[in-house]
């Protein structure tokens, strides 16, 4: 399992606020590394002319997930349990 999955498991199984915050800190570090790695790989794969198109597509995906994710998370927290968010 990678770091993001382990940190999501820590958050889902947390029994205290300290454990939840620690899991979220690990998730933030893992997400930051993934975002950076996607940009690096995309920049290595494509020339300057096509690079902006593919980086823009990645940004659109991040924007959509940033808009839809909180709505889905809020629905889980409201109608299921907060642990289902992870």
Q: Which tens digit of pLDDT belongs to each residue from 28-80? A: 888 888 889 999 999 999 999 999 999 999 999 989 999 999 999 888 888 88
The dihedral sign for the CA sequence 4, 86, 19, 77: positive
Q: What is the pLDDT of residue 86?
A: 67
By C-alpha distance, which of 7, 3, 2, 14 is closest to 81?
14
The tokens describing 65, both together, are 């997930």
pLDDT of residue 51: 94
What is d(CA 24, CA 36) in angstroms, rounded to the nearest whole number?
A: 18
Q: Which of 66, 67, 64, 86 is nearest to 76 (CA)?
A: 86
Paired tokens of 49: 């002319």
Q: Which residue has the tokens 């399992």?
A: 1
Model pTM greater than 0.75?
no
Residue 85 pLDDT > 80, yes or no? no
| pLDDT score, position 1 | 58
């Amino acid at each position: 399992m990678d770091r993001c999955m382990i940190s999501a498991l820590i958050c889902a199984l947390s029994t205290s606020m300290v454990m939840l915050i620690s899991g979220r800190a690990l998730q933030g570090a893992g997400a930051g590394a993934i975002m950076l790695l996607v940009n690096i790989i995309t920049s290595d794969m494509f020339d300057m002319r096509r690079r902006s198109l593919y980086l823009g597509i990645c940004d659109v995906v991040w924007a959509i997930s940033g808009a839809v994710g909180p709505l889905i998370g809020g629905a889980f927290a409201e109608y299921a349990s907060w642990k289902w968010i992870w």
